[in-house]
Amino acid sequence: MTTTHGSRIAIRVAFLIVLLAVPAGLGIKRLTGTEPYPALLLPSFGPVLEKNSIVSFRSPDITGVLADGQTIPLDPAKVMPGSTGDGYATVFQTIFTNEARVTDPDAQRWVGEQLARAYPGQQFTGVTVRWDTTRFDVGTGAVVVDAGQPFTIPLAVQS
């Protein structure tokens, strides 16, 4: 019985040490900005912004050119069929970053069909696509947007 009782006490002491080590590790991390070694906390495996880092990402700016010459901003999620939330991002980027691919006659026809579905009653003669690069400086909080080089996809007017 003494061995079993001793094992229970050892397990409880070990549990208590771990239970107290996590808040202590959080306190050390908050004070010093770094986590003590060995790591007591696992990363979230999500996007982690480090001090003094710059995060950058690309986003599309798409504009529809109407038959009367007016331009209107287009919603990429609305243009992509069956997209929900940000699910369109990978497909949209694959299609609309390659000017040679998207100006192919089959691609132009497909884009025209998507616009007719997404914006009924509008007649588009073209779509201008520009990929902007946004940079976020974690240290200063500054946001800088660099406009990319636009290209236009000519479309046949739907009748």
Q: Domain coordinates of the chain in residue numbers?
A: 50-154
Go through 1-35 and write b for each residue having 16 or more CB atoms within 10 A of its CB, e for each that does not.
Answer: eeeeeeeeeeeeeeeeeeeeeeeebeeeeeeeeee
The structure tokens listed for 118 are 């997404």
Q: Is 159 helix (H, G, I), strand (E, B) or coil?
A: coil
**Rg of the chain over CA atoms, in angstroms?**
27
Vertex 27: Cα angle to 25 and 29 (nearest 5): 70
Q: What are the tens digits of pLDDT across the range 125-154?
A: 998 888 889 988 888 888 899 988 888 888
Helix (H) / strand (E) element for 158: namely none
Beta bridge partners of 151: 129
- Is this model's pTM higher than 0.75 or not? no
The pLDDT mean for the chain works out to 78
Residue 34 tokens read as: 């770094």
In this prediction, the residues of the chain whose per-residue pLDDT falls under 70 are: 1-3, 33-52, 81-94, 157-159
